[in-house]
Amino acid sequence: MSSKTKKENNDYIKRRNNVHEMMSKTSNKKIYINKLVTILCVFCIIIAIIPLGSILFEVFKNGSSAISFEFLTQKPGSIGSGKGGIGPAIQGTLIVVSLASIIAVPIGVFAGIYLSEYAKSNNKFAFAVRFFADVLTGLPSIIVGIVSYIIIVISIGSFSVIAGAFSLSLIMIPIVTRITEESLKMVPDSLREAAHSLGAPKWKITIFIVLKTATSGVITGIVLSIARIAGETAPLIMTILGTSLYFSSLTGPVDALPLRIWRLASLPYESAHAHGWGAAMILILLILGLNIGLRVLTRRQNIATSKDT
Amino acid sequence: MKKHNDNQSLIPLTKLSKFDPIFKFILIGAAAYTLLMLALILFAVGEGSKEIFQNEGFNFLTNTDWNAVPGRESFGALPYIIGTLVSSGIAMAIGVPISLGIAIFLSEIASTKLKTSLSYIIELLAAVPSIVYGFWALFVFRFWIVDFVEKPLHNLFGDSLPFFAKTPFGLDVFTAGIVLAIMIIPIISSIIRELLSVVPNSQREAAYSLGATRWETIKIAVLPYAKSGILGASIIGLGRAIGETMLVTLIIGNATGLNAIPTSLFSQSQTLSSLIANEFNEAASELHLSALIGLGAVLLLLTMVINVVARLLVYKMVKTSNPGGRI
């Protein structure tokens, strides 16, 4: 009898040890796998950051030697001479991007207001607008170029600033629409209700209460979309064409920075590539400047508002 | 009935301004412009590519020759469809796992402080224009790839595997795919990160309470929940890779006709969009131009289908995860 209990006891201890061993093994394994996954994820982050570091490093290293007053203001010299600059390209980018924004900002903001403030949640029209705005943001920009070519360039009869601005506005409108909608939806309903109870008409509430409260979000969206279209190249090939002359008229061709970089990259001369790096540096400065400047401004505003409250 | 009366009593208040209906009309007009844009795009591309489809019929999609010499014109889109699918396939194979890793790290592992600064850096990566990616890839990155990846692979497997057969030169589908991956990683990872933050914490808490480690929690509770959204995000990235033009134009080697069908990872190729960008301004005839727009029509169809499917998947996930929510 006692031997039997002893045996049972031994069995129990054996089994207990087995279980302990198994548990410690599995938990060790679990912990290792957990660590491995964390390391893999960090590795992914590093892989993504290396190109950014390399791009910035190369662009600033090779670009800064190309930059001079002449480079920023002169027309391009004869091909392969290494003389002249990218003045028309800088001017053209500023003109085309501003015109595109003048078209796209009001339409995008109004459409965003409609989706957030006026459309009921089960409205099919609003669903279609929202859905296709999302789909349009994913369309290749070269398609937008083809469309502008067929609709505007062929009917005017020449490559033109207007066609370029129209094509960029097609890219910009859906982005501005969706970001405006999202930022207006963040405004608490209590603000709208308070204004309603004071008897304000809806358009006043929408513009002076809701839109005003969401201003920083809407402006963020606008600036980000400007940064996006400033770097677009493909639609410009078939709309503004690119030229080595300064802006002459809205219905004539003009140059742009991304287009100039592309043309320079296809040339077989070292001097052209040096100019390409310079132009890339100006473009990067423009775009990252918009991004970082915006970040600094909104952060300052956030700090200011949090101090107020 | 009572509710109706309440509404009636509100009418004087809402009628205070005559501008209200005008304002609403303007807003609806702006919203309708989005749909008008879509109609314009479909109309213009259809109109522009009519001639080539009348001339070649649906053989345009299966032919492989590309001859723009006036009088002997013959156009086929098949090589560029293949080139597009292969280069974006490579981009997806590299880009999606890395994006998933980044999103998991940012949403589940990193501390709040690290998270904000890292997501900001990734956002900057998304802001770099594709022409700058292309320029950098052409003059810097191409040589890294040739020296550190392509040559070793070619020397090791060049004789045995047809994938690595051609002498690597850097201007090929493989390099194009890798640079496309670098370009779509920030786009995919930021969408996935946002989707993971929508997964309710109760999911994670339940898994932790069963004794799961962090990775097990992610694996059993977070990722399955976000499955359709992750798929959607990847497809959005695929749409970007397929439509990307400038970077591909600079580094894919720009072959035409039969040569554009990649036989190995290191062969030159051409995508739909890069061929349009290369030849649009030098189109020799109306038919040539129409053939290029025909390529655009194929591209439009491809990306429309991809984006519609992707958005439906993302919508589905966001809708089921916060019912009644306003996202």
Fold of B66-321: MetI-like fold (1.10.3720)
Residue A160, classed as helix, strand or coil, is coil
Mean pLDDT rounded to a whole number for chain B: 87
Best mutation site among A34, A41, A152 for testing chain B: the one with the most B CBs within 10 Å? A41
Categorize the per-residue pLDDT at A44 as very low, low, confident or very high, splitting at 50, 70 and 90.
Answer: very high
Residue pair A142/B296 in contact (Cβ under 8 Å)? The answer is yes
B42-90 confidence digits (pLDDT tens): 999 999 999 999 988 888 998 888 888 887 888 999 999 999 999 999 9
Residue in A115, A142, A233 nearest the CB of B31: A115
How close B292 comes to chain A (CA, Å)? 9
Q: Which residue has the tokens 């002076």?
A: A208
Residue in A37, A52, A54 nearest the CB of B140: A54
Ranges A75-84, A180-189, B128-137: which has the least confidence: A75-84
Tell me the average pLDDT across B101-125: 90
Residues 6+ apart with CB under 8 A from A171: A141, A144, A225, A228, A229, A232, A235
Residue pair A63/A281 in contact (Cβ under 8 Å)? The answer is yes
Domain ranges for chain A: 1-64, 69-308
What does the alpha-carbon distance between residue B113 and residue B120 come to, in Å, rounded to a whole number?
Answer: 11
Residue A84, classed as helix, strand or coil, is strand
A13-22 confidence digits (pLDDT tens): 887 777 667 6
Q: Token pair of A309, please?
A: 């409250």
Residue of B nearest to A128 (CA): B35
B266-296 confidence digits (pLDDT tens): 889 999 999 999 999 888 788 999 999 999 9
- For residue B169, how many other CB atoms are within 10 A of its CB? 14
B contact residues 215-274, partner A, Cβ 8 Å cutoff: 215-216, 218, 236, 239-240, 242-246, 249-250, 273
Best mutation site among A143, A206, A284 for testing chain B: the one with the most B CBs within 10 Å? A143
pLDDT at B210: 86
Tell me the average pLDDT across A111-126: 91
Domain ranges for chain B: 66-321
**Whole-complex ipTM:** 0.86
Q: Which amino acid is at B86?
A: V
Residue of B nearest to A292 (CA): B124
The pLDDT of residue B8 is above 60:
no
How close A15 comes to chain B (CA, Å)? 22
Residue of B nearest to A207 (CA): B23
Cβ contact A108–B30 (<8 Å):
yes
Categorize the per-residue pLDDT at A28 as very low, low, confident or very high, splitting at 50, 70 and 90.
Answer: confident
Cβ contact A139–B139 (<8 Å):
no
- Homologous superfamily assigned to A69-308: MetI-like (1.10.3720.10)
Mean pLDDT rounded to a whole number for chain A: 88
B74 φ/ψ angles, rounded to the nearest 5 degrees:
-155, 125
Q: Which residue has the tokens 């999606």?
A: B96
Q: How many helices (H) and strands (E) does chain B have?
A: 14, 2
